[in-house]
Chains A and B, each alone.
Chain A
Amino acid sequence: MTTQVFRAAARPIWKERPAPAYQSIKALVLGGFAIAIIVPILVVISTSLASDKDIIEAGGYVLWPKHPTVKAYETLFSGGLMGRAIMVSVFVTLVGTALALVTTISLAYATSRPVLFGRPVLLLVLFTLLFAPGIIPMFLIVKQLGLIDSLWSLILPGALGAFNFVVMRTFFMNVPQELLESARIDGASDFTILRRIVMPLSKAVIAVVGLFYAVGFWNAFFNALLYLNDTSKWPVQVILRTYVLQGKSLSADQLGVTPPPQPQSLQMAVVVVALVPIAMVYPFLQRHFTKGVITGAVKG
C-alpha cells in the first residue's frame, strides 16, 4: 500500500495509470530479458563450484551447488597452461591500459587546446573512425615490426582508441580555461598543468576510460589468434575458445599432473575465470560510464 502511494506521487499528474495489460507486457519483456542474462551466468558459476555428485544428479548443469567445492579451480590453477594464460592476460591488460592511458591523455589534452598542429592531428585521429585498415595489412605491419609471437603484438596495436580519445578530449575541453591561464601566468609548463591541474580534475573520466581499455585488452581474442602461434603465450580468451568452444581437452601436462576431475565443472571454471575480472570492475564502470558515453556521443 505504501509503495502504491509513493508511486502515485512520483507519477506526473498528466500521465494516466497504465492498463494492467500493458503493465504485464512490460514486466514480461523486461523480466524475460533480465532472466535471460542472469540465468546462464548463474548456471555457469554454480556448475563450476558444484561437486561431481551434484553435477551427475542434476544431469550436467546445476542452478545452485548443494555441496560447493573449489576443486575445479584448484586443478585449473595447479600450474600449466591456464596459470600462464592468466599471467599473460593480466600482463597485457595492465601494461596495455597504462600505455593506452598515457597516449590517450597526452594526445587528448594537446588537441583540446588551440595549439600548433592541434587541428590536423585531430583530423588524423577522427579519420580512423571512418575507415579500418584491414586484417591483412595489419598482420603484415606487425610481422614487419617483428612482433609475431611477442606479447607486444597484443598491446601496441591497441594503444589508442578513437572513441576513448573523443570522450577524454571532450572532458578536457570543459576544464575551465581560467585555471590553465592562471597556472601559465605563474610559470607552470604544459606538462605541469596537465599533471597538477587537468588530471586531478579528470580522475573520474580517466578511471572510466582506463577501465574501458582494460576490458578491451582483457577481452581481446582475435589479436592473439592472429599474431601468436606459441601456445604458451595464449591469453585466457584463446584458452576459453580452445577448451570450451572447440572442446579440445587440455592434456594432462598442460593442466599439471592430476587429470581433470569432471570436465563439466572444469570447463565452467575456465568461463568463470574469464568472467570474474569484468564482474569485479563492472559496478564501478556502470556508475560512471553512462555520462562518458553520452558526452562522447553528443559532442564528438
Chain B
Amino acid sequence: MDLDFTEEQDMLRNSARDFLSTECDKAMVRQIEESEEGYSPEIWRKMAELGWQGLLIPEEYDGMGMGLMDLVVIFEEIGRNILPSPFLVTVALGTPPIVEGGSEEQKKEILPRVSSGEAILTLALTEPSAGYTADCVELKADAQGDSFVLNGTKLFVEFASASDYMVVVARTKSGGDPENGITLLLVDSKSPGIKIEPFATTGMDKQCEVVFDNVSVPKGNIIGELDKGWPIMAKTLEKATVAKCAEMVGGMQAVLDMSVAYAKERVQYGRPIGSFQAIQHMLADMYLRVETSKNILYQAAWMVSEGLPAAEKVAIAKGWCNEAYKKVTEDGVEVHGAIGTTRDHDMGLYYRRSKAAEPTFGDTESQRELVAQQLGL
C-alpha cells in the first residue's frame, strides 16, 4: 500500500499550480467566463506546450502516455485555481473513446492534433431527457449507403461551440437492451445540418444545444463497432467522473483554504472570528469533507487506472463529492458573511461550480441508485 503521490506527480502538481496562478488569475477567470468563446485560446496553446491535452494519449500519437492519477493531479489544480476551458470535455470525454476504440486511421488523424492543441473535442451524449444512461440515447443514426444520417437533438453538450469534433452517441438499433444498439460516431462539428446554440448556465461553462438535421456521417467514422458503443461510453464516463471529482476536490480545498484564512483575519467582537467555536466547528467539518472526498476520489481513480471493476467506487466517489462540495461551498459563503455573496468575491466562482458539478455525470440520487443496485437491492 502506498497512499502518497509519486515525486513526479508532486512536481506535476507544483508546475500546474504555478502555471495556472500565473496564466489565469481570478480577473482572467471572470474575463474568460464572460467571453463568447468561454475559454482562452492563448492559455489553451500554452497548456498544449505543457502536454496537458495529450496527457492520456499514447506517445506514438504525440501524447504524454501518462495515467489517470496524473490527470487527477491536474484536475485538482484546475478545480483549485479555476480554469474555464474545454479541457475536461477534450481529454476526459472526447479523447478516451478514440484511444479506446478508434481505428488506427482515426487515431493518427485526430490524436496528434489534440495533443498539439489544434483540435478541441467534446462528447454529445445527453439529450433533452438529461440522463447519462443508455436508455436516454434516442438520437437516430440511420444507415444510408456508405453513411449514417443523424436526426435529433443533443443537449448539455459542453463546449460544442468551440469543438472541432464531437463524439456523438447515437442509436442505431431500437428495442431490447438499451445498451445494445448504440454506436459512437466521430463527427466534424462544422458538418452541414448541425446547429449549435450555447445557453446561459450556473457554471458559465458553454453548455450547448446541438440539433442534427439530416447530418451525413461516413460509416468510416464509427468509433469501435456498430451497435456496440456503450461499453466504451461507460468506461469513458468512469474516467470523466473521476476527473470531475478531482476538479471538485480541488475547488473544495480552495474554499477551505480561503475560509480558514478569512476566519483568522476577520475581527468581530474584538477577536478573529476563527476563534469562535461556531466557526471552528464549521471549518472542522469542511476539513473533514475535503479529506474524505480526497481519499475516496484517490481510491476510485486508482481502481479505474488499474482497470479494476470500478463502477460502484466511482458512483460512491461522485455521490460523496456532490454533497461535500455543496456543503463546503455553502459553509464557505457563511464564514465569509455577506461579502461572500457578491459577484466580486471569489467564493461565488466556487459556489456556482459546486452547483453545476452536482448533476454532471449523475446527481447524488442517481449515484445512490447505482450503489443500491450494486448492493443487490
**A pairs with B:** no
**Which A residues are closer than 8 A to B by beta carbons?**
none
